[in-house]
């Protein structure tokens, strides 16, 4: 009986996709571009670095296009970046063009976070080594082969939107009122030396 249950468990693990077993971490934040002074936003297939803090694309649509859902892959710094409202992922084509795609499972939609000495983060393509996510001064995406880690165009800072409180990171202080303990009569007599 135990052999059969062990074989069933082994069969289950072999049939299960490794992505289903790994622990993915999902975070929501904005990517502040050092070059433009604005945030990366994903508007369907088009991606730019002209998003405002809080990221409303337009008052009529009320879309927060600068809010990004960042999914970590397994335990490394491999991430997938998806627009919270657009549901499109940032991907890099074989020519180095930055595009938005609805399906982010391909390797071209995976980036590796590199933490820099100046407290910025650079995002290099996991598929095309040495090609970075970057934007020019007008907020337009730069092609991967035209970017390096040292360029300001490829430097980003993770930021929470104005007034945004992440429920997982919120730390609440609990105040406990101080009431001095009342000394009982025996202890008072003992302290006074009676």
Domain ranges of the chain: 2-159
2-159: CATH topology is Trefoil (Acidic Fibroblast Growth Factor, subunit A) (2.80.10)
How many other C-beta atoms are found inside a 10 Å radius of the C-beta of residue 40? 28
Rounded CA gap, 161 and 29, in Å? Answer: 7
CA distance 148 to 123: 10
For 104, the 3-state DSSP assignment is coil
**DSSP helix/strand/coil, 48:** strand
Tell me which residue of 18, 116, 133, 154 sits closest to 73, measured CA to CA.
18
Residues 74, 174 contacting (CB under 8 angstroms): no
> Digits of tens for pLDDT over the chain (194 positions)?
566 666 665 555 555 445 555 567 888 899 999 999 999 999 999 999 999 886 555 544 444 578 899 998 666 689 999 998 899 999 999 999 999 999 999 999 999 999 999 999 999 999 999 999 999 999 999 999 999 999 999 999 999 877 766 555 555 555 556 555 555 666 666 666 65
């Amino acid at each position: 009986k135990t052999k059969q249950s062990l074989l069933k468990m082994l069969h289950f693990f072999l049939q299960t996709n490794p992505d289903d077993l790994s622990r993915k971490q999902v975070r929501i934040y904005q990517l502040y571009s050092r070059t433009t002074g604005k945030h990366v936003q994903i508007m369907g297939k088009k991606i730019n670095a002209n998003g405002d803090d809080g990221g409303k694309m337009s008052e009529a649509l009320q879309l927060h296009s600068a809010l990004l859902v960042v999914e970590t892959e397994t335990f490394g710094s491999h991430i997938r970046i998806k627009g919270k409202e657009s549901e499109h992922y940032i991907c890099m084509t074989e020519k180095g063009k930055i595009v938005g795609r609805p399906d982010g499972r391909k390797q071209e939609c995976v980036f590796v976070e590199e933490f820099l000495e100046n407290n910025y983060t650079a995002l290099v393509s996991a598929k095309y080594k040495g090609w970075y996510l970057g934007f020019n001064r007008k907020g337009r995406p730069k092609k991967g082969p035209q970017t390096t880690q040292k360029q300001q165009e490829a430097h980003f800072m993770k930021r929470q939107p104005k007034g945004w409180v992440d429920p997982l990171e919120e730390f609440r202080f609990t105040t406990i009122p101080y009431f001095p303990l009342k000394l009982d009569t025996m202890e008072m007599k003992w302290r006074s030396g009676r």
